[in-house]
Amino acid sequence: MSTLDDPGIVRRAPHLAELIGAQPAAPLDQDRARGVLLGLAVGNLLGLPVEGASRSTIQRSYPAGLREIDPRERYRPMDDDLAQAVDLAEALARDPDPVLGFADRLVKWRTENGRGIGIMTSTVIDYLEVGLGVLGAANAFWQERGSPETQPNGALMRCAPVALRHALEPQALITQSALTCAVTHFAPGAQWSCILVNARSRCWCEATSRTATT
């Protein structure tokens, strides 16, 4: 299946693209891009011990807040959120078709690591391995088990590399946010959540860049 012809993918958000394009843009320097990815990694590692816990439980367990990363993480494989963000970043940087490349990397990641993989992502990878194709696999899961009330946000943690790669291309940012989300999370709400977060990340990076240089 082509990664470009599925009718369930969000293709356009003209008002949002216009809003993004109205923000003055300049190429994002490498230090700032590294900072975004490092911040993603740090936030993920800090949050691992409390994943799924309620706000009240976290406040009781960490009254001063989460301030230290478990040193054992240095010797552990990356968990699912961080590993998928790295895989997506590498696909965007190196692969001719980053959507296909990302899907291939996910299959390899589950075989070699798979730490913390969720039921949805694991099932979608099963479908990829039996030949349902990129986007077709996630769409099949959505058709079988999805509903208007089921709009998972599991792709959000990995989506920042898209904002970095397409900071100067509003329409590509929107399209690639949806496509790379839909590799595992086909729900329209999931696609829109990645689009909006990446749009905000792009505008925020540009705003902080201007602040730093004035």
Query: Tens digit of pLDDT for each residue in 110-120?
Result: 999 999 999 99
Residue 129 reports pLDDT greater than 80: yes
Q: What is the pLDDT of residue 151?
A: 85
Q: What is the pLDDT of residue 101?
A: 98
Q: Is residue 63 part of a domain?
A: no
Q: What is the pLDDT of residues 143-166, one digit of tens each?
A: 999 888 778 889 999 999 999 999
Q: Is residue 208 part of a domain?
A: yes
Q: In sequence order, which residues have a C-beta less than 8 Å from that of residue 180 and are 6 or more positions away?
A: 88, 98, 99, 102, 155, 159, 162, 194
Q: Is residue 105 part of a domain?
A: yes
CA 185 to CA 171: how far, in whole Å? 20
Q: Is residue 110 part of a domain?
A: yes
Q: Is residue 51 part of a domain?
A: no
Q: What is the pLDDT of residue 210?
A: 55
Q: Is residue 193 part of a domain?
A: yes
How much is the pTM?
Answer: 0.90
| CATH number of the domain bearing residue 185 | 1.10.4080.10
pLDDT band of 1, cuts 50, 70, 90: very low
Q: Is residue 70 part of a domain?
A: no
Residue 76 reports pLDDT greater than 90: yes
What's the total number of domains in the chain?
Answer: 1
Residue 209 reports pLDDT greater than 80: no
Q: Is residue 1 part of a domain?
A: no
Domain of 23 in residue numbering reads as 14-42+79-212
